[in-house]
Structure 1
Amino acid sequence: MRTMKVLIDGLAFAEGPRWRDGKLFFSDMHAHQVLAVDMAGRREVICEAPGRPSGLGWLPDGRMLVVSMTDRKLMRLDRDGLKMAADLSGLAPFDCNDMVVDARGRAYVGNFGFDLHGNAQPRSTTLVMVAPDGVARIVAEEMMFPNGMVITPDGKTLIAGETFAARLTAFDIGADGSLTNRRVWAELGSSPPDGICLDAENAIWVACPTKSEVIRVKQGGEVAERIKVETDAFACMLGGPDGRTLFVATAPNSNPEQCRATRGGRIETTQVEVPRAGLP
């Protein structure tokens, strides 16, 4: 049994954790902020994001990209603040969500596809790719809430969690960023995926909110490990000095009003044997 330790608490709802430059960057989605925290728990506000931030990534020149959910935009953090990198409202039918950015600066952005918190019926949606010049296009359709995503170390494969299909789906990445050769990487049964991260043995850690756990999944669906958390696990990231710290974003639920009122969100950590790999 692994022991989970609380790195920081008092968050509204943490999402999109990313390890970079000795810190964990993440979105406090329902507090409309992007923050960073070091291994000692010292936090700092990176920027305010009124449109509700989610997925994070970086361009090759080091500028941060931030998904702005409710206005369905991809934002870029310049020296003078957040600027619009791309308007996705014509390509994403509902709120945007998580994202992975490849080594060339191409951002792959998922979206809900329907009003989850308004209790609408789930329906399929799109996965959008934004090139570094801001040109956006749909690269996959009929996705059941594309959520967490990873890119393998060779840059040739993107794997996305489809929350409402309870599976991980893989694509080949073309020279122009196109996604082809769609296939099921792993069926997850009763464990719908949220945020995910990849390790050096090509296994994927998956945050499973409905099960209050993170699981380590091998290609084909074998679950190699389960780690329970006290509330619900919504995202995970490998990082730390040796890449073996598993950061888990947890919260009692994802309801915006309740999250802002209770501030029950946390970043929790545990140590694992296999270090991170690939992106994010």
Structure 2
Amino acid sequence: MSDHAVRTVLSGMSYTECPRWHQGRLWFVDFYLHQVYSVAEDGSDLRVEADVPAQPSGLGWLPGGDLLVVSMKDAKILRRTGDGSLVEHADLARHVAGLPNDMVVDGQGRAYVGNFGFDLMSGDDIETAPLLRVDPDGSVTKVADDLWFPNGSVITDDGLLLVDETFGNRVSAFDIAADGSLGPRMDWAKFGELPTARDLATAVPQGVVVPDGCGLDAEGCLWIADASHGRVVRVREGGEILDEVRPGTGVFACMLGGSDGTTLFMSCAPDFDEHARSAAREAQIKSVTVSVPRAGRP
């Protein structure tokens, strides 16, 4: 494993998620400050890009440049128009049993969106969940089912959708058809077996890797935030861990970016507990330099 020097990009946040490199800046959300931000690579020039009172999550951009953002607690996707206002892009409420969370948007403007499937913060038992596709006109279609907390997702340059299943010990892959439909689920990386029980106290410790947010590199490997083990791991197809970074705290999302694509940004916090994080300003964005640049979407 490489010896990475970890740098602090930004401090004093509540709980950052969904980092994206876009137009020369790092974009991200803060769940409990209810805002979308962007910041320069070195942590300067922090800007508020949108206010999302019902808790922002996944980010993406339509081909024309409009920003899409998941609004978790009212189960919507919002679109930021050219004048900066937010309008409803899609209503997901009839299609999800838990909060919608991360997403990835393809080159045609189709958003693939995961959701919790159950009430995580109340400690309910795990229920599997569907993956949704939201087309540019806002229509919603279920494109996969029975996923164990579909979370961080990427689309490879050759059109494969990779989806982290946070409680499933795996990253799943789907071929994307021309019409946006998905082929059968395949194991892209398998770290262990599915949980033997659905209660969190049993299931979470069985996670060899608990994959949360992720980003793709130009060698086809995924950098994955391991939400239970305080690390980010670089994984090749099949599940072999090639490298890891331990930023010294919990880490729940990551993305490659920077001027040459080799800065790995990490969303860090002591834990993911809603009550603890919303009451504190302990979250940080940290970074390291890696050797292989970014690829794919987002």
On whether the aligned pair clears a TM of 0.5, the verdict is yes
The amino acid that maps onto 1:2 is H
Q: Give the structure 2 partner of residue 264 of structure 1.
A: 282
2:67 matches 1:64: yes
Amino acid at match of 2:271: N
Match of 1:244 in 2: 262
Spell out the pairing of 1:73-88 with structure 2 (5 A cutoff). 73-78=76-81, 79-88=83-92
Q: The residue matched to 2:78 in structure 1 has which SS?
A: strand
Q: Does 1:103 align with 2:103?
A: no
Q: Counterpart in 2 of 1:27? A: 29
Output the TM-score relative to the length of structure 1. 0.98
Which of 155, 160, 171 matches 1:157?
160
How far the C-alpha of 1:94 sits from its partner, in A, is 1.1
Q: Which runs of 5+ in 1 are unaligned?
A: none
* Rounded Cα–Cα distance in structure 2 between residues aligned with 1:34 and 1:128: 22
Hey, what does 2:50 align to over in structure 1? 47
1:212 and 1:40 map into 2 onto residues whose CA distance is: 23
Q: Which amino acid aligns with 2:140?
A: A
Distance 1:215 1:144 in 2: 20
Mapped to 1, the partners of 2:108 and 2:277 lie a distance apart of: 35
SS at match of 1:90: helix
- Alignment equivalent of 1:173, drawn from 167, 176, 188: 176
Q: Please tell me the residue identity of whatever aligns with 1:113.
A: G
1:229 paired residue number: 247
Encode CA deviations 1:69-126: one digit per residue, 9 max, x unaligned: 1111111011251111000011111100000000110000100000001000001011
Which 4+ stretches in 1 moved above 3 angstroms?
none
What amino acid is aligned across from residue 93 of structure 2 in structure 1?
S
- Residues 177-223 of structure 1: per-residue CA shift (max 9 Å, x gap): 11113100001231110001100000000001210000000001110
Cα displacement string for residues 214-255 of structure 1 (whole angstroms, at most 9, x for unaligned residues): 000000111000111211110000000000000000001112
Task: Write the distance in 2 (CA, Å) between the matches of 1:103 and 1:125.
Answer: 25
Q: TM-score, normalised by structure 2?
A: 0.92
The residue that corresponds to 1:278 in the other structure is: 296
Q: Distance in 2 between matches of 1:209 and 1:144?
A: 14
How many residues in Structure 1 have an aligned counterpart in Structure 2?
Answer: 279
State the AA in 1 paired with 2:156. T
Where does residue 187 of structure 2 map in the other structure?
184
Q: Counterpart amino acid of 2:272?
A: S
User: Which letter maps to 2:190?
Assistant: E
Give the counterpart letter for 1:77 in structure 2.
Answer: R
SS in 1 for 2:118: coil
Counterpart code for 1:34: V
What corresponds to 2:198 in structure 1? none
Matched residue SS, 2:228? helix
Is the partner of 1:225 in helix, strand or coil? strand
> Take 2:52 and 2:174, find their aligned partners in 1: how far apart are those partners?
31
Once the two structures are TM-superposed, the CA of residue 260 in structure 1 deviates from its matched residue by 2.1
Which residue of structure 2 aligns with residue 11 of structure 1? 13
| CA distance in structure 1 between the aligned counterparts of 2:54 and 2:30, rounded to whole angstroms | 12
Aligned residue for 2:200? none
Cα deviation, 1:121-168, whole Å, max 9, x if unaligned, reads: 0010110000001111100000110000000012x2100000010100
C-alpha distance in 1 between matches for 2:269 and 2:181:
35
Distance 1:40 1:51 in 2: 29
Q: Give the alignment partner of residue 205 of structure 1, picking from 211, 223, 227.
A: 223
Aligned partner letter, 2:285 = I
Matched, 1:124 2:128: yes
Inter-partner Cα distance in structure 1 for 2:14 and 2:84: 26
Question: What is the CA–CA distance in structure 2 between the aligned matches of 1:63 and 1:140, rounded to whole Å?
Answer: 26
Q: State the partner residue of 1:134.
A: 138
* Structure with higher strand content: 1
